Structure 1
Amino acid sequence: MNTGQARVDREGKTEIRTAEPGTWASIRETVKVGVQALLIALVVRTLLFQPFNIPSGSLIPTLLIGDYLFVSKYTYGYSKYSLPLSEYLPFQAHGRVWAAEPKRGDIAVFKLPKDNATDYIKRVIGLPGDKIQVVEGVLNINGKPVKRERIADYETLDAFDQVVKVPQYMETLPGGVTHRVIERDGDRGFWDNTEVYTVPPGHFFMMGDNRDNSTDSRDLASVGYVPFENFVGRAEMIFFSIDERTPAWQIWRWPADVRWGRIFSTIH
């Protein structure tokens, strides 16, 4: 293989000019830096932070469709599901290392127990051993209604992309975490009156803040109780946000459609 450059001289003879040593050194250095950057990115994504985007409205008003956020993977320790493409791994490791259990009120990403592959994001509502029930729209934990206070209605989009106002509340969970929830269908939605759920050991009960538009642990057939092993990490910060009707790749629409006030905001 010829690694030089060919040229024809005045007499029609072809001669080979070898590349300057400094050129190959520069190429090797560029490749080295690129490989190092990829390895650092892989380590960061695997062990520290992983980016996610919000494709549905189940956590409105806390998280909006079009939000892009960082999830800390070290917060709860590491399991098989902390690794990229975990559903394709040939081994079946169980448990967690450096484990720290989620706290009530955390917004967390987890693998859907039904298939152990689909990423879901919800709020931690019930801890192992808790009894959870919703009665006329009011969340009850261990037999006691959770405090909620009606605040100004929230403006959102209905199924026809029309702006509508829906009831909004400040909800305070046991332990002191306060966050907003909305009741799109008032207190008569499908999941506003439920059975009593008893959270099994080693599992957690997850719910969306958009209480009438969230498939979560109330639906035992679709989500149910989430094993601690399935947790990927805790949502920490929004690093980008754009109107849900605008694709992020349409850069020319950013000035008008990016939600500038949400960028670099922490998640509660």
Structure 2
Amino acid sequence: MRKSKGLSFYRRRKKISTAILHEILSYVLGIAIAAFLAFVIVYFVGIRTSVIGVSMEPALYNGQEILINRFIYKLSNPKAGDVVVFLPNGNQNTHYYVKRVVAVPGETVQIMEGILYVNGAPVEDDTYDLIADAGIAEHEIKLGNDEYFVLGDNCNSSEDSRSGNIGAVARDDIVGKAWFKLSEGSNSMGPIK
């Protein structure tokens, strides 16, 4: 007996192959891992903040947003030339300060006749003009363990380690390294030098 080839209201169910199911699960797992890594990177490495004031011009401008790497100083210590972000005297009720490290623990700092001296030698750097106000660095300062001396690149318009209410910055007060500047008007986006 032959089956009729007429209308049939029964449809064959398509089976999902294990290869397709495996591919779907691998995509879902890949997306979950990417989301987790993005969260970890943003939480541990990147904090976004804005530069307040003109003290870091021309490298960073007032209102320019930067990313802070909180993780790097868990592996190493700040070096001279690093742009660090810190809370002066650990004060949680103030904004982040962004300044450049000019001297590290154990070094001596002094500003004489507008020139910055580290360990008795003048710092030959085009970043710093003649410094009009030596502040507390008028007399030689020996940095203790875990103390850093910081200056703004535009040091004649900067409140930094020369100021008595900031002084040398303690290692524990440093939040992290300013490592990436975001585009702000005509300013370029990229790593901070």
TM-score if structure 1 supplies the norm length?
A: 0.54
Query: Who is 2:111 aligned against?
Result: 134
Aligned residue for 1:147, secondary structure, equals coil
Higher strand proportion, which one? 1
C-alpha deviation, 1:42, in angstroms: 5.6
C-alpha deviation, 1:117, in angstroms: 4.2
Q: Cα distance 1:208–1:100, how it changes in 2: closer, same or farther (>3 A)?
A: same
Contact 2:99 2:150 in 1 (8 A): yes
Deviations 1:216-261 (A, max 9, x none): 11113x11111111111111121121xxxxxxxxxxxxxxxx21xx
Q: Percent sequence identity over matched residues?
A: 27
**Which whole-Å CA distance do the structure 1 matches of 2:55 and 2:189 have between them?**
21
- 1:67-146 alignment, distance < 5 Å: 67-77=64-74, 99-113=75-89, 115-118=91-94, 119-146=96-123
Query: Who is 2:143 aligned against?
Result: 199
Number of aligned residue pairs: give it.
Answer: 159
Task: Please list every run of 5 or more consecutive structure 1 residues that lacks an aligned counterpart in the other structure.
Answer: 1-32, 78-98, 149-169, 171-179, 242-257
Query: Who is 1:229 aligned against?
Result: 172
4+ aligned runs moved over 4 Å, structure 1:
39-42
Read off the aligned partner of 1:134 and give its amino acid letter. I
Match 1:239 to one of 178, 182, 189: 182
Aligned residue for 1:109, secondary structure, equals strand
- 1:149-228 alignment, distance < 5 Å: 170=126, 180-183=127-130, 187=131, 189-191=132-134, 194-220=138-164, 222-228=165-171
Q: Cα distance 1:114–1:238, how it changes in 2: closer, same or farther (>3 A)?
A: closer
**Which whole-Å CA distance do the structure 2 matches of 1:144 and 1:198 have between them?**
14
Q: Cα distance 1:63–1:182, how it changes in 2: closer, same or farther (>3 A)?
A: farther
Pick the structure with greater CA Rg.
2
Read off the aligned partner of 2:188 and give its amino acid letter. I
Read off the aligned partner of 2:43 and give its amino acid letter. T
**Which whole-Å CA distance do the structure 1 matches of 2:90 and 2:181 have between them?**
28
TM-score if structure 2 supplies the norm length?
A: 0.73
Deviations 1:138-188 (A, max 9, x none): 11001111114xxxxxxxxxxxxxxxxxxxxx1xxxxxxxxx2345xxx5x
